Amino acid sequence: MKKMQMLIPIVAILMFASAVTPVLATKEKPEKIEYALQGYISDMDKGFFGTMSLTVSGKIVGSPDYIGEYSFNYPASYGGHSSYEYDYYEFDEDGASTHYKYSYYEESSFDGWESGSVHTTKWYSPQSTFNSKMEVIWYNGPAATFKADLRPSVIEKSFREGTATGYYERVVKEIIYIENDAGDWDEYEVIQDINESGYSSTTYSDSTLYISFIGKIQSKGRPAFAGTLELWDVTSTQYGQYIVGWGRFGPYDLNIYT
């Protein structure tokens, strides 16, 4: 079986933004934050690796320390490609086999201009400790429950909207091949064969909640380790919703993908 995947993002941004002007903060009702997160954990001391689930909940307290807005207008160029393939066999009632290969290739690029605005709200003031708990299942070790004592040190909410205008190209080829008697591959089924390009103007928006936690985590029989955990919660018209994060507490590396 052969499998290959490669992603090559190319981003070139030259940003010309108006000066950010802070706005007088106003008192807001505390906002509740609650997450049930999934990801991976590694113990660099013991060589353990496993899955983790982390729950955190709490409230943003106090008025924002900063509110600002700026506009942007810059040239933008980005793109990338990915490809992979694998082969497989299908057997009929008599036991005879047919050898197939699935192949996928996609490439896209955009060159143009982006313009829009960003609104940002930040809290730097001390926040209360969040309720948190972490469960770990080691692949090469026992399951474990961690005590987690986490408090936000930075909370940032941002909303961005804009328009991307320019020239795009997109190629997609998704094909199933069949092996012939000579051992070569012939096209069996073309699932997708896209080759398009042209001028486009797309309006987009996204909102991001960023939280930087400080604190400690501790498993039974080991000391508590201090560290930090960063979390990004993004909702985008282009990419949907996703949550990512990573942290380091002593020998423990945390990676969150939700």
Q: Enumerate helices (H) and strands (E) in the chain, giving the number of each.
A: 0, 11
pTM value? 0.71
pLDDT at 239 (0 to 100): 81
pLDDT at 94 (0 to 100): 85
Is 192 exposed, middle or buried (CB count within 10 Å of its CB: 0-12, 13-18, 19+)?
exposed
Q: How far apart are CA 212 and CA 155, in angstroms?
A: 7
pLDDT at 28 (0 to 100): 53
Chain centroid, CA 177 distance in Å: 33
Give pLDDT tens digits along the chain (258 positions).
444 333 333 333 333 333 333 444 445 566 899 999 999 999 999 889 999 999 999 999 999 999 999 999 999 999 999 999 999 999 988 888 999 999 999 999 999 999 999 999 999 999 999 999 999 999 977 889 999 999 999 999 999 999 999 999 999 999 999 999 999 999 999 999 999 999 999 999 999 999 999 999 999 888 999 999 999 999 999 889 999 999 999 999 999 988
pLDDT at 172 (0 to 100): 97
Q: How far apart are CA 65 and CA 157, in angstroms?
A: 12
SS3 122: strand
pLDDT at 10 (0 to 100): 32
